[in-house]
Amino acid sequence: MCLLGALVYAPSAQASIAHSESRTRSNIDEDWRFALGHATDKDADWNFATGYFSYLAKTGYGDGPANPLFDDRGWRELSLPHDWVPALGFAEDASYSHGFKTVGPGYPEHSVGWYRKTFDIPESDLGKRIRVEFNGIYRDAAVFVNGFFVGQEPSGYVSQSYDISEYLNYGGENVVVVRADASMEEGWYYEGAGIYRHAYLLKTNPLHVANTAPSSGRISTTAAALRSRSRRRS
């Protein structure tokens, strides 16, 4: 049975080459810039969302750090994964279940973090579908690419994946920006704050398998069934 599985599932050399050419997933953990913002003070939050048109009203109108021309040279350089909470101080009136750290309710000056990364996309990628993926951001994370708002996830325990193909500069420089807001708590334990898991760029052909999700079926003491579902995108 094991041999049969190997014969059925082992890809040929040509198939492996074709797969590697049609789908690449690159880690983008290195060379990020980071700075704290502010949950309630627009000025201290780098004047984000203060323009005449908001990024929700007009596409491509990301302002403050979400603007691709924003000067982040004074920000801290770091690599992912990252949690900004350990560097904060302690306070007696802070949440005891979160380690008495000065983040979350009552500490708006420590509860928003900004991340920016500049990266190049070759002109040869034009026509591919390109997604940015974050395996974990705590929390309420808004994502921008070249000033375009591409999505937001309120929970800190859900991964994020966005098709950014239409917003990229092919053959030029691009900027991805994340604003994480840890003002609210989701658990009764230490949760941290920031992009605490890895980030990736996924490149595929226009027609591709979006994802595959296994699930268990019937299970007994002598047998088990495993189901797999895939989605095709074009």
CATH architecture for residues 23-207: Sandwich (2.60)
Q: How far is CA 98 from CA 95, 103, 138, 182, in A?
A: 5, 9, 14, 12
Distance, CA of 71 to CA of 92 (rounded, Å): 36
Whole-structure pTM value: 0.84
Residue-averaged pLDDT of the chain: 88
Residues of the chain predicted below pLDDT 70: 1-21, 207-217, 226, 228-234
Instruction: Please write the tens of the pLDDT for every residue from 40-75.
Output: 999 999 999 999 988 988 889 999 999 999 999 999
Q: pLDDT value at position 4?
A: 36
Distance, CA of 177 to CA of 71 (rounded, Å): 13
Q: Domain map of the chain by residue range?
A: 23-207
Distance, CA of 190 to CA of 200 (rounded, Å): 26
Instruction: Please write the tens of the pLDDT for every residue from 206-233.
Output: 755 666 556 666 777 787 776 766 565 6
CB 203 within 8 A of CB 128: yes
The closest of 57, 39, 156 to 48, measured between CA atoms, is: 39
Token pair of 105 as six digits: 């309710």
Token pair of 61 as six digits: 């109108």
Rounded (10°) CA dihedral 189, 78, 148, 51: 90
